[in-house]
Every structure is written in structure tokens, then in C-alpha cells.
Structure 1
Amino acid sequence: MTWLFSLLSSFFLGTTPSAVEPPKVRPATLETATLAAGCFWGSEEFFRKVPGVYETRVGYIGGPKKSSYEEVTTGKTGHAEAVEVSFDPTKVTYEELLTLFFKFHDPTTKDRQGNDWGSQYRSAIFVQNETQANAAKALMVKIERSGAWKKPLSTQIAKAKPFYAAEDYHQKYLVKNPGGYDNHYLRNLDFDHQK
């Protein structure tokens, strides 16, 4: 029956049966990391490419209610632009995702990343549980002691609030718009060296 549906779809929709992707089976072991590092377009692009990351969604977190992009960009809603990362902890650890997070954005600038400024562009880790909170605190201490960043970290650690997915046109924005705006880049920083 599935074969027949694929064949009919290819005839009526102009696709080949091989172009129809089967739905992903969501592994039961997935965990969630919710991270804010300025404009969510570039952040999502980094996390999306990590082996062990199952899915990414961009959206808004930290505010009291669902808001639109236009409302969030005023800086008055309390939200931060963030990426919700679903990952398999047997393939990539929470600590590895956090390490990447601290290398592709500047966690020392308060409410600013590149040309984007305002509280909606703050550096923040929204933790799902005490284990994540402890991991985030420990890594931040390690980073401060390493001296890799010359200024103190401004990254906030907060308990995760409801995450509101951004509008569809923001999802996988840089995949849909290659060369689109992105102020994130990977820095060659050594957090293991202690000063």
C-alpha cells in the first residue's frame, strides 16, 4: 500500500518515489538543550551540523507568553532568541554542545552579538534540570579560569521556561537562504588550559 501511495504521489505531485522521505523515528533517549547566543539563524546552523543532534528549532524563551518575531525584536517581551536542540547523549554530550556554544558566539558581551543588540540577543543557557545547571556552572568556571576569553562571561543560566517556536520562515533560515545574515563564527579557544 505504501508503494502504491508513493507511486501515485510521484504521478500527481511530480516527485519520484525515492524523493519521499520516511518520517524520522524519534529515539526515546533524546535530551534537550536550549541555548541563546544572539541571532538564532547562525546558532541553529552550528548545532544542526553536529553529529548526534537529532533536530533543531529556533524560537523564543524567557518571556511570559507567546510572542511574534516583531514583538520580540522590540526587546520588551523578556524573550531571548534561542535554539532548542534535541540530541542523543550517547553520541554528543551536553557539555560538548555547551563548549561549542561558548566558542561560536561572544559570551562576554551583555545583550549583544555583533550588530545585534538588545536583551533578546543575550547569551543564556536555559537548563532543563539540575544536572544541566551543574554542567553549565562547572564549564563557565572552567572557561573563566582558562582565560580564553579576556573579559568576564555575561552568560546567564536560567531554568527553562516555555519555548515558543519561531515562525516557519526562521526555521533552518541559512539552509533556505545560503549566505544570509550570520555573525557567528568558530573561535580557536582552549578552555582546558588554566592560567
Structure 2
Amino acid sequence: MNRNPFSRNALFAATAIAGTIALAFLLSGPSRAAEDAAIIPPPTLDAKTATGIQTAVVAGGCFWGVQGVFQHTAGVLNAVSGYAGGARESATYDKVSTGTTGHAESVEIKFDPKRISYGKILQIFFSVAHDPTQLDRQGPDSGPQYRSEIFTLNDEQKEISDAYIAQLNAAGVYKKPIVTRVAALKGFFPAESYHQDYLTLHPSQPYIAYYDIPKIRNLKKIFADSYVEKPTLVSSAKITN
């Protein structure tokens, strides 16, 4: 269970005054997210030409930042924060936060394959959305619910994911091995409404400002051709679950 006083859960409960003080403190140093962003090659194996709306599900720590990254990604029609890896009955924030339900905080991404490929989504996921070398944690958040995992919907996605992890490890892109798991998706359960669009709605919240806003900046810098200024929010997306 996460006991870091500067974790998301601790900051999530802070008052506005305390948050302002914490924000000033956090922004006085370099951003961990900015340090961890990596320029990586695209996957040599990618999805074949597909038609219709496609779905990808990834987990990389707190879903606020991962959702925010893909909401600013061209070709993404909707990105929803939620839970994957466990049962429907225990897919609630309070239960998942115990780290005992088998879930990971995840993001379901609906995308147009004519505008962005599955492999490109994985490239952005590994490059700016999270650090794939951290085991059962991400930044200040620890526990299996913050693990790095790709939940695949079919054999092609599994093949692409496995091949890309092997490719990046062989290239020595990171100083440590990638620990990202790859598993078949058994179910995705949207998170509570107050978790949706969190980055956009709370840009000055200390956790968001320090750990997640730099991810958006890195997306714009490293993947300029895939960046869109106006995010595609759950509250206004035309594609729903």
C-alpha cells in the first residue's frame, strides 16, 4: 500500500492552501517525468492496415497522466481511466488502492488506425507516458496497482507488444530492463467520474503539475506530429464505452 507522504493519494486529499505551498516546493526541483522521457525508435513490427475503431489498453502508474497524454494524441478518439487485471466486483478506487485486487490503474484508448497505429501508441506509452523499468511502482506511487502492463485484445497486439519490448531491450534504450507485463485483457472497468479528465480539470494540483504536466510537454516536444493542443475529453468524446 502506498505510504509515501508525497504520493498522489496524499496530495489528492490536500487543501487548497496546502496544495499551493506543496506546488511551490515541488516545482523548485526538476521533474521526474521530464527526466524519464526517452527518445526511442518506433516498433519494427506494427499492426497491418485495420478498419474501424480500434482499442488499446495500457497501464503505467497513475492513470491521470497516462490518460492526459493520450487525450493530447492525434488519432485518439477517447481515452478513459479505469481498472484492468481484476474482477468487476472489486473494480473501485478504494479497493484497487489496497493493491490486493489484481487490478492496475489503466487507460482504455479508442483510436482511428488510419491516423495512428497500435505500434505508435506503444511508442508514446514507453517514451513519455511512463517509465517501463519501474517494477510495481511509478514515481512516488508504489504497489501492484501502479505496475506497467499492456493488456492485449488479440494475438496481433500481443505479438507487437512482445516484439517491441524485446526490440527496446536489445537496443539498450533504458539503463535497466523493461519490466512491462503483457497479458490478455479480461475486462476493463471505467474509473469513477471524478478521475476522468483529471489532468485537464486540475492542472495546478501539485501531483499533476509536478509529475504529469511534463509528460504533455514531452509529448509535444518528442512527438510533435502526433500532438494536439486541445485534448479529447471523456466528457465531450463522441466515442463512448
TM-score scaled by length of structure 1: 0.79
| Letter of the structure 2 residue corresponding to residue 171 of structure 1 | Q
1:39 is aligned to 2:62: yes
1:97 is aligned to 2:121: yes
Distance 1:64 1:166 in 2: 13
Quick one: which of 104, 120, 125 aligns to 1:80? 104
1:166 is aligned to 2:191: yes
Quote the sequence identity (%).
43
Distance 2:65 2:78 in 1: 15
Q: CA deviation at 1:37?
A: 0.3
Quick one: which of 106, 129, 134 aligns to 2:159? 134
Structure showing the higher helix proportion among its residues: 2
1:144-189, Cα deviation, whole Å (9 max, x unpaired) = 0111111111100000011110000000101111133233434999
Q: CA deviation at 1:65?
A: 2.5
Q: Relative contact order (alpha carbons < 8 A, sep ≥ 6): 1 or 2 greater?
A: 2
Name 1:49's counterpart in structure 2.
72
Q: Which runs of 5+ in 1 are unaligned?
A: 1-27, 190-195
Name 1:69's counterpart in structure 2.
93
Q: Paired residues, what number? A: 162
Q: Secondary structure at the match of 1:175?
A: helix
Name 1:148's counterpart in structure 2.
173
Distance 2:87 2:195 in 1: 21
Q: Secondary structure at the match of 2:66?
A: helix
Distance 1:106 1:171 in 2: 22
Q: Secondary structure at the match of 1:54?
A: strand
Distance 1:165 1:65 in 2: 10
Q: Secondary structure at the match of 2:158?
A: helix
